[in-house]
Amino acid sequence: MGSITLEHVNKSFGEVQVIPDISLDIKDGEFVVFVGPSGCGKSTLLRLIAGLEDTTSGIIKLDGQDVTDAAPAKRGLAMVFQSYALYPHMSVRDNIAFPLKMAKLPPEVIAQKVDYAARTLNLASYLDRRPRALSGGQRQRVAIGRAIVREPKAFLFDEPLSNLDAALRVNMRLEITELHQQLKTTMIYVTHDQVEAMTMADRIVVLNAGNVEQFGSPLDLYKKPANRFVAGFIGSPKMNFVDGPEAAKHNAHSIGVRPEHFKLSTTEGAWKGTVGVAEQLGSDTFLHVQTDGLGLMTIRTDGDQTFKHGDVVYLTPDATRIYKFDAAGKAI
Amino acid sequence: MATKQTRALARTMMAPAVIVLFIWMIVPLVMTLWFSFQNYSLINPMMTGFAGWANYVYVIGDPSFTQALVNTLILVGGVLIITIVGGTFLALLLDQPIWGQGILRILVISPFFVMPPVAALIWKNGFMHPGYGMLGHLWKFFGLQPVDWFNQYPLFSVIVIVAWQWLPFATLILLTALQSLSEEQREAAEMDGANAANRFRYIILPHMARAITIVVLIQTIFLLGIFAEIRVTTGGGPGYASTNIAFLVFRTGILSNDIGAGSAGGVVAVIIANIVAIFLMRAVGKNLDA
Amino acid sequence: MARRVSVQTRIGFTVLAWAVALLLFSPILWTLLTAFKTEAEAIATPPTFFPQNFTLENFEAVQDRSDYIKHAWNSIVVSVGSTLLGLIIAIPAAWSMAFAPSKRTKDILMWMLSTKMMPAVGVLIPIYLIFRDLRLLDTVHGLTLIMTLINLPIIVWMLYTYFKEIPVDILEAARMDGAELWNEIVHVLVPMAVPGIASTLLLNVILAWNEAFWTITLTSGRAGTLTAFISSFSSPQGLFLAKLSAASLLAIAPILLLGWFSQKQLVRGLTFGAVK
Ligand SMILES: Nc1ncnc2c1ncn2[C@@H]1O[C@H](COP(=O)(O)OP(=O)(O)OP(=O)(O)O)[C@@H](O)[C@H]1O
Ligand SMILES: [Mg+2]
């Protein structure tokens, strides 16, 4: 079991309020991702749940039990750090066995569990190496191994993939998702990469300056962003925003159109513009179009389009997919 | 950084060190202060009771006190100047591309590991003795009259010995600082047309300033309390010519068994050290980056 | 080092550096050579460089006269004992300062260092009297206690600078893995800080070994360390140059070897990490 509940959690470092007031309800077995820009308090929130920091006020519950004042060791959670935080003086085997030793399990049981974890994570042939002698991906696996042997109530990940190269990141992303399907244990995963968030999460918490902007499934967030911040944060490339008279036509303070929701034409359309940079990815092409009076917009088209710098194009937003926001940025 | 529990734990873990040091500092100090206002002599047990400022008047009023104070300042200042100037020179030299760096470093650092009484004895008998010391032989070789160093230049001789002991320390630290100056920085200065003297003045010296402050701080801590070198060589003499404050207190309190006067001297020594300490801490505290 | 210098310059610097280094080393070299000379040869004019009649009799004489072995043993017990005791007190304190610092941490560190500034003579008399009343005068444990106290600030400082370089993540990982504080320190912090702890230990053994105020003032016969042993040779009637050299050599040799072995770590240690 591993449901996690936050009730009016507040955290200040001295004078600085990092998290004003957060309430969350994470269900048992859920994969929840915290996303948000750098410095918005993702790590802080995770560390509050872990017990590595204490709340200034508010309550944290694990399986309905108040653990606000419990030490990290007593909460039965496992954490995977961005730096992996492996014990450099211990072999891979001893690293993975450490939490079991701390739990005073008998040596046979420890050996058995370590072997099992090593096989699951493809680490069997590295067990006697020191972490120093492993690649980044292998280190990450050891860190995960150390977390899973404890059979924790929930896993906490703090940007575990950010030190890996792009290809490896995609691999590990799949492995972690797979692990979740196997174990069905609650996982909380912090990242600032919205692709990771979209692909891995059951539900996403979008954080901004210590506040929850929206909490919902990836598609919910994509289709029905609660406000301009979420709309801008979820989706890649970013949503295009337009204010002023053009927005007023839709009875909104500002409107947003995703790059993939345009019709593109060389002859006619709603907004006229000139192609600046065209980023060709093969499958897609991203056009950066300087529109007359509405600023720079990013347009996603298929990979066969061959627009050049300086070409004049006309853009027509898909009328059913225009997002409208009021003056406060709330979706209408 | 951490939870309340961790912080509470941290205070508990720090307590033994803080308490022990606090007791070590405060108990003897209070006792010294108490004794310094008492008539208390181990030779004359009849003499007891409150002494008022008498011990202080006796200690400070004695000409030996002024001399000891001056000697202390000369000793500390002299050693600091010799070790910093010499250390800078040696560090610059050892930083050059030379053969046998490793062995040279070992040779240069060695005096630092020699315990003070041995250093004093080696110099006193092996080098500065007018009859069979090496310097005596050298003087005779040039047809000169050997010098009786400890009688003619007692304080200077002590300074030489102490400087010999501390020169390696200064050299090593300044050398380390020097080597952390990046090659690029020097090359850039060279490209900018700075000659060797200008490079030293504008690039190297400012870079070493921090290391020099450290050397001053740490050496001063130890130099204020120079004791064994004096005890073994001159015994503070002739007269009070090589007596510093530390040795004066020892002379009065332990050798003459005048606890009251010795304590008054001790209190004065603490006050002087504190004045020096405040200055040093101000200068260096920022640098020490806690 | 990409500096281009001509071979002549290099030779010049090398000769100069060796000359200065040998000059600085000469007192130790002289002691080494004289220790193996006969008394007559030691004071001969003109002096000899190498011992003409190589002899070990000085060492025997020194052992007979002042019992080197006993003093050396006292030195070892006091310097190693006080350093270990200091480490036991200092490791938890340094852990607190490095990993759970508060606003006052820096002040406490400065205060600790400032206790080193207090001149020993300022407290000599009370300590002497307390020791006399507690019958600690001229005992090895009394001396060990004093040595622990005077080196404690340095031990705390050095450990603090080493601990600060250990990523706090790893200690937090241990906490998440269910380690209590004791396990966190014993199984994670200490093994990771072994190089730092070792150099702290070395440096403090050296400092305690060479300490020559308390060892001389608080001991006489029984608990005398090598500093007291060597001071007994300073009185004129005990003076025979060759024997004195043998005694000196015996007193400094152990720590000289230890110092050569650990000189790299020494700089960082002695500057509390302020010069890298
Ligand atoms: N120990 C601390 N003392 C004071 N302020 C802190 C402390 N730890 C974090 N903060 C502040 O709290 C805010 C949130 O930090 P946090 O590390 O949670 O951000 P984050 O969302 O994880 O960012 P990133 O994506 O860069 O890791 C930041 O402004 C940070 O400066
Ligand atoms: Mg973070």
| Alpha carbon C203 to its chain's center | 5
Q: Is A330 part of any domain?
A: no
Are A153 and A267 found together in one domain?
no
**Which of A9, A34, A43 most suits a substitution to test ligand 1, by most atoms within 8 Å of the C-beta?**
A43
Q: For position A236, what pLDDT does the model report?
A: 84
Domains and CATH numbers, chain B: 69-244 (1.10.3720.10)
- The phi, psi pair for C140, rounded to 5°, reads -70, -40
Q: For position B130, what pLDDT does the model report?
A: 76
Are A225 and A90 found together in one domain?
yes
Long-range interactions of C67-73: CB distance < 8 A, separation 24+: C68/C229, C68/C247, C68/C250, C70/C224, C71/C224, C71/C225, C71/C226, C71/C228, C71/C229, C72/C226, C72/C229, C72/C250, C72/C254
CA of C172 to the centre of ligand 1 (A): 16
A250, A244 contact by CB (below 8 A): no
User: What would the two tokens of residue A43 be?
Assistant: 């790590």
Q: For position C230, what pLDDT does the model report?
A: 85
More confident: B260 or C209? C209
Q: How far apart are CA B285 and CA A293, in angstroms?
A: 59
**pLDDT grade for A194, boundaries at 50, 70 and 90:** confident
* Partner C contacted by B58 (CB < 8 A): no
**pLDDT grade for C53, boundaries at 50, 70 and 90:** confident
Q: State the CATH number of the domain containing residue A311.
A: 2.40.50.140
Q: What is the distance in angstroms between the Cα of B182 and the nearest Cα belonging to chain A?
A: 28
Q: Is A149 part of any domain?
A: yes
Are A221 and A243 found together in one domain?
no
> What mean pLDDT value characterizes chain C?
85
Q: For position B285, what pLDDT does the model report?
A: 60
3-class secondary structure, B195: coil
* Partner B contacted by C89 (CB < 8 A): yes
Q: Is A332 part of any domain?
A: no
Q: Which residue of A has its CA nearest to B4?
A: A54
User: For B155-177, what is each residue's pLDDT tens digit?
Assistant: 999 999 999 999 998 998 888 88
Are A275 and A170 found together in one domain?
no
Q: What is the distance in angstroms between the Cα of B269 and the nearest Cα belonging to chain C?
A: 6
Q: For position C1, what pLDDT does the model report?
A: 43
Check pLDDT > 80 for residue C46.
no
> Do the chains contact at C96 and B13, CB–CB below 8 Å?
yes
Query: Exposed, middle or buried, A55 (CB in 10 Å: 0-12/13-18/19+)?
Result: buried
Check pLDDT > 50 for residue C2.
no
Touching chains, C (3+ CB pairs < 8 A)? A, B
Check pLDDT > 60 for residue C239.
no
- Percentage of chain B modeled with pLDDT above 90: 19
> What mean pLDDT value characterizes chain A?
90
The string over B134-170, giving b where at least 16 C-beta atoms fall within 10 Å of a residue's C-beta and e elsewhere, is bbbbeeeeeeeebbebbeebbbebbbbbbbbbbbbbb
> Do the chains contact at A102 and C170, CB–CB below 8 Å?
no
Q: State the CATH number of the domain containing residue A103.
A: 3.40.50.300
B122, C30 contact by CB (below 8 A): yes
> Do the chains contact at C43 and B105, CB–CB below 8 Å?
no
Domains and CATH numbers, chain C: 7-57 (no CATH), 66-232 (1.10.3720.10)
The residue contributing the CA closest to ligand 1 atom 28 is A39
Task: From A261, A277, A209, select the one nearest A20 (Cα to Cα).
Answer: A209
Cβ atoms within 10 Å, residue A174: 12
Check pLDDT > 60 for residue B288.
no
Are A311 and A167 found together in one domain?
no
Pocket (CB within 6 angstroms of ligand 1): A 13, 16, 18, 36, 38-44, 192; B 1
Region C102-131 average pLDDT: 82
The string over B253-286, giving b where at least 16 C-beta atoms fall within 10 Å of a residue's C-beta and e elsewhere, is bbeeebbbbbbbbbbbbbebbbebbeebbeebbe
CA of A60 to the centre of ligand 1 (A): 20
User: For A21-50, what is each residue's pLDDT tens digit?
Assistant: 999 999 999 999 999 999 999 999 999 999
The residue contributing the CA closest to ligand 1 atom 14 is A41
**pLDDT grade for B290, boundaries at 50, 70 and 90:** very low
The residue contributing the CA closest to ligand 1 atom 16 is A41
Are A175 and A311 found together in one domain?
no
User: For B39-67, what is each residue's pLDDT tens digit?
Assistant: 777 777 777 777 778 788 887 888 888 88
Q: Is A122 part of any domain?
A: yes
Check pLDDT > 70 for residue C3.
no
Are A222 and A244 found together in one domain?
no
Q: For position C237, what pLDDT does the model report?
A: 53
Residue located via tokens 């972490």: A131
Q: How far apart are CA B37 and CA B55, in angstroms?
A: 7
Q: Is A14 part of any domain?
A: yes
Q: A152-156, A277-281, B146-150, C263-267: which has the minimum mean pLDDT?
A: C263-267
Are A250 and A211 found together in one domain?
no
The string over B43-60, giving b where at least 16 C-beta atoms fall within 10 Å of a residue's C-beta and e elsewhere, is eeeeeeeebeebbbebbe
**Which of A35, A42, A233 most suits a substitution to test ligand 1, by most atoms within 8 Å of the C-beta?**
A42
Check pLDDT > 60 for residue A279.
yes
Q: Is A296 part of any domain?
A: yes
More confident: A303 or A127? A127
User: For B80-107, what is each residue's pLDDT tens digit?
Assistant: 999 999 999 999 898 888 888 888 888 9
Region A104-113 average pLDDT: 93
Are A86 and A141 found together in one domain?
yes
**pLDDT grade for C144, boundaries at 50, 70 and 90:** very high
Region A93-113 average pLDDT: 93
Q: Which residue of B has its CA nearest to C90?
A: B17
Q: How far apart are CA A27 and CA A24, in angstroms?
A: 10
Q: Which atom of ligand 1 is nearest to the CA of A207?
A: 21
User: What would the two tokens of residue C178 be?
Assistant: 């269910």
Q: For position B199, what pLDDT does the model report?
A: 77
Q: Choose the final residue of a domain: A180, A203, A231.
A: A231
- Percentage of chain A modeled with pLDDT above 90: 60
User: What would the two tokens of residue A174 be?
Assistant: 């799949």
Task: From A56, A58, A68, select the one nearest A14 (Cα to Cα).
Answer: A56
Q: Is A25 part of any domain?
A: yes
User: What would the two tokens of residue A194 be?
Assistant: 């919205």
> How far lies B240's CA from each of A180, A230, B77, B227, C240, in Å?
83, 83, 19, 14, 28
> How far lies A239's CA from each of A260, A298, B129, C111, in Å?
9, 8, 90, 57
Chain A residues in contact with C100 (beta carbon < 8 A): none
Q: For position C143, what pLDDT does the model report?
A: 92
Are A65 and A158 found together in one domain?
yes
Region A66-95 average pLDDT: 91
3-state helix, strand, coil in chain B (%, to 5): 75, 0, 25
Q: Choose the final residue of a domain: A209, A231, A253.
A: A231
- Residues 100-139 on B with a CB inside 8 Å of C are 100, 104-127, 131-132, 134, 137
Check pLDDT > 60 for residue C238.
no
Q: Choose the final residue of a domain: A216, A231, A246.
A: A231
Query: Which residues touch A114 (CB under 8 Å, ≥6 apart)?
Result: A93, A96, A97, A100, A127, A145, A149
> What mean pLDDT value characterizes chain B?
83
Q: What is the distance in angstroms between the Cα of B7 and the nearest Cα belonging to chain A?
A: 11
User: For B238-278, what is each residue's pLDDT tens digit?
Assistant: 888 888 888 888 888 777 778 888 888 888 888 888 888 77
Number of domains in chain A: 2
Q: How far apart are CA C267 and CA A34, in angstroms?
A: 46
Residue A276, domain extent: 238-325
Long-range interactions of C233-241: CB distance < 8 A, separation 24+: C233/B121, C233/C66, C234/B117, C234/B120, C234/B121, C234/B124, C234/B231, C234/B232, C234/B233, C238/C65, C239/B125, C240/C39, C240/C42, C241/B125, C241/B126, C241/B132, C241/C34, C241/C39, C241/C42, C241/C43
Are A191 and A242 found together in one domain?
no
- Percentage of chain C modeled with pLDDT above 70: 92
Are A32 and A114 found together in one domain?
yes
Query: In chain B, which ranges are E strands?
Result: none
> How far lies B102's CA from each of B99, B117, C27, C117, C260, in Å?
9, 28, 20, 34, 10
**pLDDT grade for A17, boundaries at 50, 70 and 90:** very high
Interface residue of A47, A91, A102 to substitute, partner C, most C CBs within 10 Å: A102
Query: Which residues touch A164 (CB under 8 Å, ≥6 apart)?
Result: A136, A137, A140, A172
Chain B residues in contact with C30 (beta carbon < 8 A): 122, 126-127, 134
Touching chains, A (3+ CB pairs < 8 A)? B, C
Cβ atoms within 10 Å, residue C261: 11
Strands A31-35 vs A186-190: parallel, antiparallel or unpaired: parallel
**Which of A40, A53, A82 most suits a substitution to test ligand 1, by most atoms within 8 Å of the C-beta?**
A40
Q: For position C236, what pLDDT does the model report?
A: 58
Check pLDDT > 70 for residue A215.
yes
User: What would the two tokens of residue B140 be?
Assistant: 């005779």
CA of A40 to the centre of ligand 2 (A): 8
Check pLDDT > 50 for residue B192.
yes
Q: Is A227 part of any domain?
A: yes
Region C165-187 average pLDDT: 91
The string over A309-328, giving b where at least 16 C-beta atoms fall within 10 Å of a residue's C-beta and e elsewhere, is eeeebbbebeeeebbbbeee
Region C226-253 average pLDDT: 80
Q: How far apart are CA A207 and CA C232, in angstroms?
A: 75
> How far lies A243's CA from each of A189, A223, A254, A315, in Å?
35, 20, 4, 17
Q: Write the single-letter amino acid at B135.
A: L
Q: What is the pTM of this model?
A: 0.85
Q: What is the distance in angstroms between the Cα of A52 and the nearest Cα belonging to chain B?
A: 6
